[in-house]
């Protein structure tokens, strides 16, 4: 397969995908009910975009093309209600969160499609370990070269996205000490991490062809990059976020990315360069491990500061753009979270401290998702 041409899309439009957990209401473990839920949703006759994911017990919901924070929220809200209604009829719970707190990876079952079967035979247990739940945000770009530049500019803000969305402290029944442990599962894939610094679509096509020639990739989907272009949609897709516990939060993060994009494209404070990536994995690890408390190293002036300071500083810089996009309320809400050091990972840990039971934590996650 050749790299498809990059379709043009309206700049600054958004598309949000959320991967969700389906659990039973008995001991709150993941339940293989994806097929049943999709069947009931289909009967509702709405054109909601809800798809299976790699293992049974996961489901992905997606908005159409959105222009604003309010738009994202309304679309997510409508689909969420539809999913919750169908889930109620099946007596299953739905929740956000980047990982299921105590599911056992070996008990997962691969959702039966040719692609998932092929992934499963290639990656073995990694495919089942991939039962993790992320938020993906697509940002529209009018041309391919712009998109690639934007991809590398946004790469500097990966730690921000991770810390703001982190909601996966528990894995396989244990507190990992991480705010986002979900990303550790992504890192084990051979083609994960950052995209190579290429800023024209022609050169990118050459890179893609040489990778194809080696036989290790067949399509863009085989790259598990933190941000990757989606030529069919004419977007770049930010993929590092955990699925937040509420759609309010998910919509705010999308609004933050939108405002940041506007800032980066209109003000173009700097151009991407390879040395920006020297600190990339360090910053990313700090954000996963410590959340807002992590260290952020500025690749340009080598200053070390806390990620919370860095996020607040970014929020200041993008404020006029947030106002222009009507995303200022969403950004203000994120600011309050950073200032009070509250987030989904912290909330989950609090619930666990209170109840001493991870099953009860999942139950409370479901309650938050409904509300």
Q: Where do contacts with other proteins occur on this chain (CB under 8 A)?
A: 24-29, 31-33, 36, 39-40, 88-91, 104, 106-107, 109, 356-357, 359-360, 362-363
Residue number, 106 or 301, with CB nearest to other proteins: 106
| Beta carbon of residue 29, minimum distance to other proteins (angstroms, whole number) | 8
Residue number, 130 or 285, with CB nearest to other proteins: 130
Residue number, 170 or 201, with CB nearest to other proteins: 170
The beta strand positions in the chain, using DSSP E, are 14-24, 49-52, 58-62, 92-95, 134-140, 170-171, 174-175, 192-193, 224-225, 227-230, 235-242, 295-297, 304-306
DSSP letters for 172-200: TTEE-S-SB-HHHHHHTSTTEEPPP---S
| Beta carbon of residue 19, minimum distance to other proteins (angstroms, whole number) | 20
Residue number, 90 or 197, with CB nearest to other proteins: 90
Residue number, 301 or 356, with CB nearest to other proteins: 356
Residue number, 21 or 283, with CB nearest to other proteins: 21
| Beta carbon of residue 125, minimum distance to other proteins (angstroms, whole number) | 11
For residue 225, give Cα distances in angstroms to 41, 283, 355.
31, 16, 37
| Beta carbon of residue 33, minimum distance to other proteins (angstroms, whole number) | 6
Residue number, 23 or 141, with CB nearest to other proteins: 23
* Number of other residues whose CB lies within 10 A of the CB of residue 84: 14
Strand-pair partners of 60: 19, 51
| Beta carbon of residue 58, minimum distance to other proteins (angstroms, whole number) | 15
Contact 9, 146 (CB under 8 A): no
Residue number, 124 or 190, with CB nearest to other proteins: 124
Element (H, E) at 222: none
Contact 256, 327 (CB under 8 A): yes
Q: Give every CB contact of residue 293 below 8 A, 6+ residues apart in sequence.
A: 306, 307, 308, 341
How far separated are the first and last CA of the chain, in Å rounded? 44
Contact 246, 368 (CB under 8 A): yes
Residue that is written with structure tokens 């404070």 in the block = 269
Q: Give every CB contact of residue 321 below 8 A, 6+ residues apart in sequence.
A: 259, 260, 262, 263, 266, 327
Instruction: For residue 235, give the 3-state DSSP assignment.
Output: strand
| Beta carbon of residue 101, minimum distance to other proteins (angstroms, whole number) | 11
| Beta carbon of residue 32, minimum distance to other proteins (angstroms, whole number) | 5
| Beta carbon of residue 359, minimum distance to other proteins (angstroms, whole number) | 4
């Amino acid at each position: 397969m050749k790299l498809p041409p990059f379709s043009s899309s309206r700049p600054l439009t958004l598309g949000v995908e959320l991967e969700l957990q389906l659990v039973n209401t008995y001991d709150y473990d993941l339940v293989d009910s994806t097929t049943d839920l999709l069947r009931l949703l289909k009967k509702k006759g709405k054109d909601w975009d809800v798809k299976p994911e790699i293992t049974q017990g996961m489901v992905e919901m997606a908005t159409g093309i959105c222009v604003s924070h309010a738009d994202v929220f309304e679309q997510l809200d409508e689909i969420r209600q539809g999913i919750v209604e169908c889930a109620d009829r099946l007596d299953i719970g739905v929740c956000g969160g980047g990982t299921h707190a105590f599911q056992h990876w070996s008990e997962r079952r691969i959702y039966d499609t040719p692609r998932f079967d092929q992934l499963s035979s290639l990656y073995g247990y990694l495919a089942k370990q991939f039962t993790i739940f992320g938020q993906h945000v697509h940002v529209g770009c009018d041309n391919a070269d712009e998109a690639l530049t934007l991809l590398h500019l946004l790469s500097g803000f990966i730690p921000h996205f991770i810390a703001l969305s982190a909601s996966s402290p528990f894995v396989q029944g244990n507190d990992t000490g991480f705010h986002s442990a979900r990303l550790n599962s992504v890192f084990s894939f051979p083609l994960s991490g950052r995209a190579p610094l290429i800023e024209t679509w022609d050169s990118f096509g050459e890179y893609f062809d040489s990778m194809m020639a080696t036989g290790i990739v067949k399509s863009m989907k085989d790259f598990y990059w933190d941000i990757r272009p989606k030529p069919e949609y004419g977007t770049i897709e930010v993929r590092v976020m955990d699925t937040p516990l509420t759609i309010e939060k998910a919509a705010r993060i999308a609004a933050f990315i939108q405002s940041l994009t506007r800032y980066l494209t209109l003000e173009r404070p700097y151009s991407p360069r390879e040395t920006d990536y020297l600190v990339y994995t360090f910053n990313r690890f700090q954000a996963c491990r410590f959340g807002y408390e992590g260290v952020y190293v500025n690749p340009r002036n080598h200053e070390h500061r806390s990620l919370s300071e860095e996020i607040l500083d970014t929020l200041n810089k993008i404020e006029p753009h947030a106002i222009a996009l009507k995303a200022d309320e969403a950004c203000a809400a994120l600011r309050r979270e950073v200032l009070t050091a509250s987030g989904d990972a912290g909330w989950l840990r609090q619930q666990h401290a209170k109840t001493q039971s991870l099953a009860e934590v999942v139950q409370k996650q479901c309650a938050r998702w409904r509300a």
